[in-house]
Each structure stands twice: as structure tokens, then as C-alpha cells.
Chains A and B, each alone.
Chain A
């Protein structure tokens, strides 16, 4: 039996290799001298440069750029505020497709003003990058780390923890009240998914198309959903409603945690890029918005007996803590690539939670007037608090 299997394996490997060898041969031939000119045209090369990130220091502008076109492209000159300006490009002005470089421009930019930088290629094409509000990009210091940690604490951790303090009150609700609350949670979570996914599709335009940003977002979404569903199926060999409730709480906390990681990323980077002014109103908006997430987490474990303080702390840390991490990543190493992926993962995780909640009870019960009102209320609460957050 074992021998036969290995025999088939070797034969199968050979069969599998044939198309690969043919494919490699085809590609090699296309790049050979014989095939040169087969698809050549007189059209000028297709040039595309994308600016991934800018970093500002006093009298200094850095741009991290990528050649996102199919042909080699050379950055010949740089203009700032419409004027040619001295600069350096490292490691090289000529960039192969997908190759990155850093443009360093000593320029006396003014705090708080917009600055436009134009890259002029060797063929005279221009690629613009608008720095909407110039401000020094924070480096990693103890001060900046604690500053962004504080930001994460205020918009993520504290609000979720505050939401959790509803726990003693919520425990006193009857069955109908609990049902309402569970469906309120569904509404809250549904809003988060809708909001995050549309934000993701919007942000996708900022990532070079060569990275297929929409596909990346869906990868995060579907991947997270499938993995968490698999995890849940493996974990649920039997058990009663009580254990399911605890597991559900952890899953909701995890989903919201990943979501908040993405939210932290967006806040941190927007702040650094000068696209976001963090006023009291905005922080308050985020706090209200995220406090409702606490209700979502505790609703499945309300019927659990006994003191659950340590569990609540753990749930709160899992849901809120990643906001701090997100703020750090967003502020110091912002990448639209990771931001999109996390938006997708967070949404996928939350959808998994929503489908679990709805799947664990009869549809007829979920669509009762009271529970429908719960879902609508949850969605509207998020919508209303979201108004305070605005574009962020």
C-alpha cells in the first residue's frame, strides 16, 4: 500500500512538472532575442510612480516612492511649490518595476501649510504628491510612544472599558431584555462592518493599483471569516449555551480588537499625515462610538453566574488594547497595504460573530418586533455617534 502510493506520487510529480516546464520554457522564449520585438511598439514606455509615504523633518522632506508601472522609470528632477529643487534619490534614480526609492529634499517648508511635490521623469511625465498640512513627522521616542499610547487609550481602551461597566445593570435584564440587547449588538456590529468595508474600498484608491487593493481587502475579510468559522466549528464539539456565551464574548472581543487595530492605524496615520486634527470633539466622538462596543462584548455572558471581573478585564484588553498598537503602527510605519488588510480582517471577524449570533437562534425570534427594534437601535446608535467622528 505504502509502496504503491509513493509510486503514484513520483508519477504524479512528473505529470505535474510537465506544464510547469512548458510554462517556464514559454516565458524564457518570450524574453529571448528570438522573440524580441514580437509585441514591441513604438509607444513611449508606460511610467507610473506612486508616493507611499512622506516623512517631514525640519527643513527636510522625504518621499518613499515605488515604480508601480511596467517599465523602468527614472526620476530626473523634483519640483517643490512649482520650483525645481535640490534633492537626492537613494538608492538610484532609475527604478525597475516595483522597486522603491527614497527622495530626500532639503526644503524650508512652513508648519501647517500645504506643500506640493512633483516628480519629473526622464520622459517629462509628472507625478504629484500633495502634503495637505506640513508638520514634523514624529520619530520613535519615549515621548511620542507615550503620546500615541495615550491617544489609543482614550479612543479605544477607556471607552470599551466604560462600556463594560454596564455589565451589572445589564445582568438584571430579563430574557426579553437580553434578546433585545443581543440584537442591539448585531446592529452595532453590522454598522462597523458596513462602515469599515466602504472606508476600505475608498482607501483602496490610495494604494497603487499594482497591489490590487480591493482584492487585498477581500482577502482579509474572507480569510478572517473563514478562519474564525473553522476555529469555532472545531471548538464546538458539544457544550451548552453557557459555554457558547463565553466563547461568543471572546470572539466578539477578538473581532472588535482587530477592528480597533485598523481604526488605530487610521487614526495614527491620519494624525501624522496632518489629515486629522485631534480636537476634544473627535476624541469624545470616538469614545462614545467605542463605548457601545463594550455592550456588544458583554451581552453574551450576562447569564453567566458569579463574579466575572477578571474575564471582563481580559475581554476589554483584547477589544480595546489593539487600538494603542494600531496608533503606533499607523503613526510610525504607516502603510496603506497593512491598513487595508486590517480593515478587511476586522470586518471578516465581525461578520463571523454576527452570523454566529444569528445562527444560534431561530430566525423567527431574531425578526420579532422587539429584536428588530434592537438591531435598528444598535445601527442607529453607531450611526449617530459616528457623526461625531466625521471622516475618520
Chain B
């Protein structure tokens, strides 16, 4: 009996070991196949001294369609308006703005259910001249109360900030005030919870030009923003004008020595500061754009949330130059772009 049982046990053990052995062999072959399959999968990027650059690519993968929102167009677009002459000879400028829920693409393949002004994040850039009368026909097509709160001089009724000043879903409101003071400002929703309304996309630039134009320049609008798509109150994605690394994939082309005026604002929610740094040049900085004399000559500025200013810069050299948050954590998460500086028109670069 004992030998029979022992025999059976040995046989079972033998079969078991054989099965396990075959399984292990199959696993080994499979493992070897998967690991060898990876080598040479991607064309090698070669750097200085023949260095393989493949492991060093800090980037998103893919590209974002521009049919929903085109960051290149945002750089220069302003919201269309119509004007009327008031009895006192002043210009009345009329804008139409609506809040609408819309899904946007914030990084290749990453979609975010945004709340938008006129279907875009950032909202359209509103621009007027000092002293003009501004009228905004506001409609809330969204599904909760919203408002527009402008930075600048206006009456209490036009502040759009108090609870009772929020416009209900389906409601309308007319904001009216003077374009004052001169400078580079913001507008944003002031409904509660305000961090949610701002983070979800309800903000835009509000620019008041001086009566006498600033010197002619190539003008660009830039909003430093961030997104928290998993709603943990920390941003996963940072960007300039919403789409992570858009201007890294599609460099902004400028001319050598050309005067470039960048209207830059920071609306980034959750983080205390953001910053703007440009390579290979220095710039004049006009905080809030309210003075016509620069206050700083630098290559890096820091802005808190809601802070903004005007940068005037020239690139003396041709080539591709980075601009990015010098908060490198943000740069690693999408807030980086390139200026492609081309030889100036005369071709003497």
C-alpha cells in the first residue's frame, strides 16, 4: 500500500514537474520574444557623439486637431465687434458673448468637458481703445449660473461678482462700462465655486489700447493656463493657450530683429505662481500694460494668478528658441513652445 501510494505520488509529481517545465519554457520563449521585439522598434534619434536620444524625449505623443480650437489663430484673433457713434461723439463698441459647455482637447487625445466663452478656451480676446463705451450682450447657454467680471473701472451693477449678479441658465445680461484704464486686463466668470468656473475655462484677455497706438509690432496673445482633468485639485497639464506643447510642435515664426509684443497673462488655477521665460534674448516688461515706460529689462517674469503684462522683445539671432515656464515642473507638463526666428526680410541675418 505504502509503495503504491508513494509510486502514485512520484508519478503525479513527475507529471506535474513536466507540465510546469513546459509552461516555464513557453513563458521563457514568450518573454524573450516580447523583449527582443522592442529593440529597433523606433527609428533612433542621434545626438552629439552618436548619443541615442530616444530615452530623453519629454513630450506628449501625437497632435491636437485645430478644428475645435486653433492656438495659432488665438495668438492674433480678437472678438469681432460693431460700433455706433454716441451723441457725445464717443464710440460705442458692442460685443456678443455667450457661455456654452464644450468638450475641448487639451493634449493629444485628452479631452476635457470645458465651460467656455464663445466655444473656446481661453475665451475670445476683447480689445477696445481707451475712452470707448463698451457694451457686452451676454447670454448664458450653459447649465448653471455664470457671469463676466472685468478687471477695470466700472459701476457696482457691472461687477458681475456678487451672488445676485450671476446670470441664470438661459438668461441674458448687458454689461456696460468705459474702456479704462489703458492696459492689458482680464475678464472671467465670478460664479461660485469660482476656482471651478475659472479652471473649467471661463476666462479671457481684455485689452485697452492707449489713444495713441503703441509702436508698430508683431502682436501675440498668450494665456498661461492649466488643467486638472482628474479633478484632484492639482494640474496635470500646463500650457500656453490651452493645448500642451502646441507651439513646440508648431513653432511661432517670427523675423530676426522684428519687434514682437506679447500680451501675457496667468490664469493658472491651483498653483500660486506661473512664469514666462524666453531664450537667447531679453525683453522690456510693462506690468499690467498701464504705463508706457517699461519697468523691467529681463528674460524671466513671474506672475500670480490674475497678473498680466506686456512684453516687448526682439530676437537678434536666427534659430529655434524655447519659451517656457521657468517653473520647470510646468514646462515638463506641457508649458513650453518655440519661436522660430527667420532671417529678416532684407536677408542680412
Contacts and interface: CB of A to CB of B under 8 A. Distances in A.
Interface of A: 55, 57, 59-60, 62, 74, 76-79, 82-88, 93, 102, 104, 106-108, 118, 120-126, 139-140, 235, 237-239, 242-243, 246-247, 250, 254, 311, 314, 318, 325, 328-329, 332-333
Nearest first, the 7 closest Cβ-Cβ pairs linking A and B are: A124-B229, A83-B332, A76-B109, A86-B57, A243-B2, A59-B55, A106-B55
A134 B20 CA distance: 29
Contacts of B106: 124
Contact of B35 (A107, A139, A325, A333): A139
B292 interface: no
A124 B35 contact: no
A82 B58 contact: no
A88 B38 CA distance: 10
Interface string B47-61: 000001011111111
Given A86-B59, A237-B1, A254-B13, 7 more contacts: A76-B108, A82-B333, A83-B332, A120-B229, A124-B227, A125-B229, A250-B5
B185 to A, nearest CB: 30
B244 interface: yes
B245 interface: yes
A273 to B, nearest CB: 15
Contacts of B9: 250, 254, 318
Interface stretch (B24-32, B81-89, B122-130): B24-32
Given A85-B59, A88-B41, A250-B5, A93 B229 contact: no
A214 B17 CA distance: 27
B245 A123 contact: no
B34 interface: yes
Interface centre among A118, A124, A329 (most CB of B within 10 A): A124
B50 to A, nearest CB: 15
B111 A77 contact: no
A335 B32 CA distance: 17
B108 A325 contact: no
Contact of B333 (A55, A83, A239): A83
Contacts of A333: 24, 27-28, 30-31
Contacts of A106: 42, 54-55, 57
B5 A123 contact: no
B331 to A, nearest CB: 9
B71 interface: no
Nearest to A261: B20
A65 to B, nearest CB: 14
A77 B61 contact: yes
B99 interface: no
Contacts of B4: 235
A79 B230 CA distance: 14
A150 B255 CA distance: 67
B58 A108 contact: no
A236 to B, nearest CB: 8
Contacts of B35: 55, 57, 139
Contacts of B13: 254, 318
Interface of B: 1-2, 4-6, 8-10, 13, 17, 20, 24, 27-28, 30-32, 34-35, 38, 41-42, 52, 54-61, 106-112, 227, 229-230, 232, 236, 244-245, 329, 332-334
Contact of B2 (A83, A93, A108, A242): A242
Nearest to A318: B13
Contact of B32 (A93, A122, A139, A254): A139
23 contacts: A77-B60, A78-B61, A79-B236, A79-B333, A82-B332, A84-B58, A84-B107, A84-B334, A86-B57, A86-B59, A106-B57, A108-B55, A118-B236, A123-B110, A124-B111, A237-B1, A239-B1, A247-B1, A247-B6, A250-B6, A325-B20, A332-B31, A333-B30
Given A124-B236, A126-B230, A250-B5, A76 B107 contact: yes
Contacts of A311: 6
Contact of A246 (B6, B27, B109): B6
Given A84-B59, A124-B230, A124-B236, A247 B5 contact: yes
Interface centre among A59, A83, A102 (most CB of B within 10 A): A83
Interface centre among B9, B28, B110 (most CB of A within 10 A): B9
Given A82-B332, A235-B5, A124 B110 contact: yes
Nearest to A137: B35
B20 A243 contact: no
Contacts of B32: 139-140
Contact of A60 (B55, B107, B110, B236): B55
A224 to B, nearest CB: 13
Contact of A139 (B31, B229, B329, B333): B31
B31 A243 contact: no
A238 B109 CA distance: 71
A51 to B, nearest CB: 16
A173 B1 CA distance: 26
Nearest to A304: B2
Contacts of B110: 76-77, 120-124
A333 B28 CA distance: 8
A77 B107 contact: yes
